[in-house]
Amino acid sequence: MSFVLPQTSSSARYAFDGVRAQIRDLHTENIANLAVRARELGDVIALWYGEGDVVTPAFIRDAAKAAFDEGLTFYVPNMRGHGPLNEALSEYQTRIHGRPIPIARTTVAPGGMQALYLALELLVDTGTNVVYVAPQWPNIHNAIHLIGGEPRPVSLDFKDDWRLDLDRLFATCDARTRAIFLSTPSNPTGWTASREEMQALLDFSRRTGVWIISDEVYGRLYFDGDVAPSILQIAEDGDRVLSVNSFSKAWAMTGWRIGWLTHPSGVADQLGAMTQYINSGTAAPIQAGAVAAIRQGEPLVEEIRQRIRTGLDLAYDRLAQIPGVILPTKPRGGMYAFFALEGESDARQACAKILETARVGLAPGHLFGNSAAAFLRMCVCRDRDQIATALERMVAAMN
């Protein structure tokens, strides 16, 4: 059987129509239009990205440079990670979570998003679903869809704070549910699961066999302790629990693209094989930088945490001066102020107006799901003076 390429105007769709269905309707709706306008306006303080402004410190960069100079430019023989980083991660997680996390439970990946994708590929079949806690980083919904699963959002309740209705979350699961996904602390709300909520999730998993995937990328950016409550603090090795993490936020390494997945040791071989076929491992010099971050980076983590706390305190003080602003209870973690304006059901117009009149770029809440459409997200992991200037502009423009 042969195919003849159409020689008409419809030929532009010929390749597209042969693409897998989940890919054909995949799109990346983001702040692109606002960013284009920001370039036209100039002098815009862009606070819409989930990224701090701290350059990766020299001790991390120097470790990666040294690895290059030592000739560590070949394939990493262990697909699940270079030995020194797996050892460092085992020691680190054992220390901060207060229970043994052996080397066999960790797989390194080129970025937290790759770690998440490995987790989903491990579990999700076409026709199954993943129930996730919303508002949520849009990559989660789209990654579930991309793999062939059905994304099922369950929104946090909002009054003056964000709260999780566990009964509603569990009721959304059915015989086709492979996993419950949550981010804690959350992007964008800063909502953080309590230890009691984590225990309820684990108990539900043990009763039903549904996996728990806990995105803990913001776990060290927590203001009520050294680390946010983690599923790893209570789960046993054999539990159906996966924890996604990354060096991006707490160690100022967004551009390095390195993260890790903590998992039961019983699936380590499968994750090693998947890594071989999906990304063939993470570059050794990048891993060397990550080792330095883990072993020497506690002062850096504290510096970034305090930078966010300062920015958040400033944001809550100044945003309260804007008429009609709705400020949730101050978040317990993360790097965002997430607020709404009375009378605004869709924050896209408000974001466009703030960009035009105050020259400040904020992310509209609809990107994080329907339940967040009225909200605006501001990244506060920035220099204090820059945050102060942005807020002064907003207060002046909106009064």
Q: What is the pLDDT of residues 286-307, one digit of tens each?
A: 999 999 999 999 999 999 999 9
From 393, 366, 378, select the one nearest 337 (Cα to Cα): 378
Share of the chain above pLDDT 90, in %: 87
Q: What is the pLDDT of residues 19-44, one digit of tens each?
A: 888 888 887 666 777 888 888 998 99
| Alpha carbon distance 391, 316 (integer Å) | 10
Q: What is the pLDDT of residues 198-253, one digit of tens each?
A: 999 999 999 999 999 999 999 999 999 999 999 999 999 999 999 999 999 999 99
Tokens of 45: 């303080």
Share of the chain above pLDDT 70, in %: 96
Residue 5 has pLDDT above 60, yes or no: no
Task: Report pLDDT for 1.
Answer: 47
Residue 111 has pLDDT above 80, yes or no: yes
φ/ψ of 45, rounded to 5, equals -90, 110
Higher pLDDT, 93 or 79: 93
Q: Please give the average per-residue pLDDT across 7-16, as a whole number.
A: 70
Tokens of 382: 């920035």
Angle at 328 between CA 391 and CA 370, to 5 degrees: 100
pTM: 0.94
Strands (E), the chain: 45-46, 106-109, 129-134, 150-155, 157-158, 162-163, 177-183, 211-215, 241-246, 259-262, 325-326, 336-341, 360-361, 363-364, 375-379
Task: Report pLDDT for 22.
Answer: 85
Task: Report pLDDT for 36.
Answer: 84
Tokens of 180: 């419950």
Higher pLDDT, 23 or 144: 144
Q: Please give the average per-residue pLDDT across 146-152, as a whole number.
A: 96
CA distances from 359 to 54, 308, 362 (A): 22, 22, 10
Average pLDDT, the chain: 94
Higher pLDDT, 2 or 151: 151
| Alpha carbon distance 316, 325 (integer Å) | 10
**List of residues 6+ apart from 171 with CB closer than 8 A:** none
Q: Please give the average per-residue pLDDT across 261-268, as a whole number.
A: 97
| Alpha carbon distance 262, 108 (integer Å) | 9
Report residue 16's pLDDT band, with 50, 70 and 90 as the boundaries. confident
Ordered structural domains, the chain, with CATH? 19-55+298-398 (3.90.1150.10), 74-296 (3.40.640.10)
Higher pLDDT, 368 or 27: 368
Residue 330 has pLDDT above 70, yes or no: yes
